[in-house]
Amino acid sequence: EMQLVQSGGNLVQPGGSLRLSCAASGFTFSRYSMNWVRQAPGKGLEYISYIDSSSSTKNYADSVKGRITVSRDNAKNSLYLQMNSLSVEDTAMYYCARGRSSDYGDYYLDYWGPGTRVIVSS
Amino acid sequence: DIQMTQSPPSLSASVGDRVTITCRASQSISAYLNWYQQKPGKVPKVLISAASTLQSGVPSRFSGSGSGTDFSLTIFSLQPEDFATYYCQQSYTMPYTFGQGTRLEMK
């Protein structure tokens, strides 16, 4: 059974840092690109980061660029999101999601972790 | 970044109704458009990829169409379990931005 187990969310003060983790099982993690999506309380989905299967390509939304770093360890079947200089606007549920490409070439998020909550507050 | 705009932001409908949600991209995205459904307290679930390809297990009452900048998601004969929030997402270029969501409520 496929699983994405997330951890690392916490209450942190403005300006602080957090490292989120997403541990995968039930599929060959090293063959898939991964993504991070966040959702502020009562708000919509915001796509924030992408990493390909070999870590050679990474991408970030403008809202987090320069403050967030995505990484992965295929030997440990794990995805990470290092978040620095956090502000109250970063308060959200953070989801990791597996990316899937079809023969057509389109790309979608086919399996999502349960989320980990980040609260930035003094 | 490509901006995705959904309309309406919210929609009231009854069981058995046909409803349509639209999504407009700020530039052409060919057919690289996905639709997700999210129920309260749950993670999003992909319904449709490539604008019109129904994902496995998704009921056939869901249908997607469009290309270029204008897309739509139609639900034929709403069922009680369909009341949720729906998001479009472009996968034409990174970052793969989402629309702001359409909340489908029971009338």
Residues of B within 8 A of A68 (CB-CB) are: none
Residues of B within 8 A of A115 (CB-CB) are: 43
Cα–Cα distance for residue pair B35/A110, rounded to 1 Å: 11
SS3 sequence of B44-63: CEEEEECCCEECCCCCCCEE
Per-chain mean pLDDT for chain A: 97
Cα–Cα distance for residue pair A93/A115, rounded to 1 Å: 6
Residue A102 has pLDDT above 90, yes or no: no
Cα–Cα distance for residue pair B26/B3, rounded to 1 Å: 5
Q: Give residue B52's pLDDT band: very low, low, confident or very high (50, 70, 90).
A: very high
Residues of B within 8 A of A108 (CB-CB) are: 34, 46, 49, 89, 91
Task: Report yes or no: A41 at the B interface, CB cutoff 8 Å.
Answer: no
Task: Report yes or no: A113 at the B interface, CB cutoff 8 Å.
Answer: yes
Residue B95 has pLDDT above 90, yes or no: yes
Q: Give residue A1's pLDDT band: very low, low, confident or very high (50, 70, 90).
A: very high
Beta bridge partners of A25: A3
Beta bridge partners of A73: A78
Q: How far is CA B101 from the centre of its chain?
A: 8
